[in-house]
Amino acid sequence: MPDLTYTELLYLACGAFLLTGVMVLWRRDLRAVIRLFALQGLALAAVIGVLAAHQGDLELALVGIGVGALRAGLLPYLMARALAAGGEDRETRPLVNVSASLVVAAALAMLAYAISRPLTELAPSPATRAVPVALTVLLVGFFVLVTRRRALSQVVGFLLMDNAITATAFLTTSGVPLVVELGVSLDVLLAILVLYVLTNRIRASFGGTDLDELRELHD
Amino acid sequence: MTGVAGVVLQVLLVAVGSPLLVGVMRQVRARLEGRAGAGLWQPWRDLRKLMRKQAITPAGTGWVFRAAPMVLAGTALVVAAVVPLVTTESPLDGVADLFAVTALLALGSVALALAGLDTGTAFGGMGASREVTVLALVEPTILVSVFALSIPAGSTNLGELVAAAEANWLSLLSPVTLLAAVALAIVSIAESGRIPVDNPATHLELTMIHEAMILEYAGPDLALIEWASAMRLTLLLGLLAGLFAPWGIATAGAGALGLLVAAIVVVVKVTVLGVALAAGEVFMAKLRLFRIPELLAGSFLMALLAVAASYFLV
C-alpha cells in the first residue's frame, strides 16, 4: 500500500473512532448509544485492518476481523437484548448535563494530547501520532463511566475504555500477538456477560437500573 | 478579466437564484408531506406582491428599524461577491477572508436584532434576545473550525482554501476536514434559521426566533428581508459546497467556458444540498429552545477536535 494512502486511511479510521466515542456523550437515547458503540467497533477493526494491510501481516488481519466481530457484533447484540428486556431506554438525567459534558470532552481531548506527546516523540510514525485519539476516547469512556446513571450507559463507558486500550496497544506496538488479544477479548466478553446478568438481577430486585438509588441496604 | 466576469455572474446567480432555491425547498417539503405545493416561483411572486405595497413603519421606530433591511441585504450582496462560488479569482480576493465573511454575516444578524429591539414590542425583544443567544454560541464554532481548515492550507483566504482543496482532493478525506465540515454544517443550519434550530414557517410565539424580529415589517422592507434571508441561506450552502466539494470552481486562467461550467456546477451543488436539507427537515422536529445550546456545544466540540486533530494527525 502506498504510504500516503496508508496514512490517510489510518487517520480516517481514527477520526471515525474518535467521533463515535465523543458522540456517545451527546446522545441520551440508549439505543443510539449502542449503535454508536457498534460503529466504533467497526472503526477499531478498520484501524487494525489498515495496519495489517500496511505490514502485510495475516495474523494481525485475523485479529482485526475477530475484534470487529466481537465489538461490532456480539457485544452490541448482548446490550441491545439487555435493553429490550428492561423498559428504560433513555439517560434522563446524567450527573453532568450534556452541554457541560461536551465541553469537558473538549478539555479531555486537550489533556490527552498533552500527556501523549512524550509517547509520540519516542518513535514518531503515522501510527503513534494517532495515539492521542485513543487516549481521548479512554478519558471520555472513563467520564461516561463516572457521570452516567443507567447501568447500561456505564457498561458502554467501560467498553469505550476497553476499545481505547486496544487501539492504543495496536497503534503503539507493531502488532499484539493473537494469544494476548484473544485473552483480553474473552475477558471483556466474560465481564459483559457478568454485567448483563447483574443488570437483569438489579432490575428484577429493585425495578430499575439507576445505580444512584442503590445506596441503601435492603433486606 | 474572467475574475470580474465571474464575480458579476455569481452575484447575479445568488440574487436571482436564492428565492428559487427557497421555492425548490418548499416544493420538496410540500411533496414529501403529500401537498401539491405552491410552485417554484412562489417566493418571487410573494416578493413582487410585497414590493408593490406602500412602505409603512410602525409609530415610534427610528432609523435603526429603517436601515436594518438595507444592511442585511447589503452585507449579503457583498458576501456574494467575495465567496468563491463560481471563481476563486475574485477582484476582492484580498479581503475574501473567512473571518471577514463571518463578520459580514454577523453584521446583518446584529442589524436585524437591533431593529427587533427598536420596535419596542415584546416579540421583537424576545426574538432579538434569542437570535443573539444563538449567534453567541455559533460564532466561536465558526472561528475555531475556520482555524482548523486554515492550518493545512496555511491561509484563511477563501480562494486559496478552495484552490488548495481542489488541487489535492485526497486532503478532503482527512478527519480534520470531516469534523470541520460537520461543525460548519450544524452552524450553517443554526445561522440560517432552519429546523432543528428555528422553524422558518412558524409564527408561534413560543418557538419563533427569526420571524419574531421581523414581525413589524411590511411591504418593500419585508420583501428586502425575505430576499436577504434567502440569499444568506444560499450563500451558506454555497460556501459549504465550495469548501468541502470544491470540484468545478473556476481557478486562475479559466476561460468563459470554465465560468459557465462552474456556474452550472454550483447551481447543481447548492440545489442538491437544499433538497437534502428540506428532505431532512420533514423527518425532524424543532429542538426545544433550551436544547439548542447542547447542539451547538456539540458542534463546538467537533470544531475543537478538528483543530486538535490538525495538530497531531499531520
Which cell is A93 given? 438525567
Which cell is A153 given? 450507559
- Per-residue pLDDT at A88 exceeds 60: yes
Mean pLDDT throughout A77-94?
79
Residue B234 burial (CB < 10 Å; 0-12/13-18/19+)? buried
**Do A25 and B297 form a contact (C-beta atoms < 8 A)?**
no
> Hey, which residues 150-189 in chain B have their CB within 8 Å of chain A?
170, 173-175, 178-179
Which cell is A95 given? 450527573
So what's the pLDDT on residue B309? 85
pTM of full prediction above 0.80 = yes
- Per-residue pLDDT at A1 exceeds 70: no
Residue A35 burial (CB < 10 Å; 0-12/13-18/19+)? middle
CA distance A132 to chain B (A): 8
Q: Helices in B83-218 by DSSP H: which ranges?
A: 98-118, 122-153, 158-167, 175-191, 210-213
So what's the pLDDT on residue B111? 95
Mean pLDDT throughout B34-53?
93
Please state, as a whole number, how many other Cβ atoms lie within 10 Å of the Cβ of residue B139: 17
Percent of chain B clearing pLDDT 70 (strictly above): 99
- Per-residue pLDDT at B165 exceeds 90: no
- List CB contacts (< 8 A) between B148 and chain A: none
Q: What is the dihedral of CA B145, B151, B157, B159, to 10 degrees?
A: -100
Instruction: Calculate the CA B215 to chain-centre distance.
Output: 21
For the four alpha carbons of B292, B227, B32 and B85, in that order, the dihedral sign comes to negative
Here the ipTM equals 0.81
* pLDDT (tens digit per residue) in B124-137: 899 999 999 999 98
Break chain B into its structural domains and give their ranges. Answer: 2-312
**Do B6 and B250 form a contact (C-beta atoms < 8 A)?**
yes
Break chain A into its structural domains and give their ranges. Answer: 3-209
Please state, as a whole number, how many other Cβ atoms lie within 10 Å of the Cβ of residue B242: 26
* pLDDT (tens digit per residue) in A162-205: 999 989 988 888 767 777 877 888 888 888 888 887 877 777 77
Phi, psi of B181, rounded to the nearest 5 degrees? -65, -45
Q: What pLDDT band is residue A90 in, cutting at 50, 70 and 90?
A: confident
* pLDDT (tens digit per residue) in B259-283: 889 899 999 999 999 999 999 988 8
> Hey, which residues 74-113 in chain B have their CB within 8 Å of chain A?
none
So what's the pLDDT on residue A189? 83
Which cell is B54 given? 406602500
Residue A68 CA to residue B129 CA, distance in Å, equals: 49
Q: Do A22 and B305 touch (CB under 8 A)?
A: yes
User: Average model confidence (pLDDT) for chain B?
Assistant: 88
- Per-residue pLDDT at A17 exceeds 90: yes
- List CB contacts (< 8 A) between B312 and chain A: 113, 120, 129-130, 132-133
Q: Do A102 and B173 touch (CB under 8 A)?
A: no
How far, CA to CA in Å, does B150 sit from each of A2, A82, B22? 26, 46, 31
So what's the pLDDT on residue A98? 87
Q: What pLDDT band is residue A2 in, cutting at 50, 70 and 90?
A: low
- Per-residue pLDDT at B91 exceeds 90: no
Of B215, B189, B151, which Cα lies nearest the Cα of B273? Answer: B189
- List CB contacts (< 8 A) between A133 and chain B: 309, 312-313
- Per-residue pLDDT at B12 exceeds 80: yes
Q: Is A14 on the interface with B (CB under 8 A)?
A: yes
So what's the pLDDT on residue B229? 94
Please state, as a whole number, how many other Cβ atoms lie within 10 Å of the Cβ of residue A199: 22
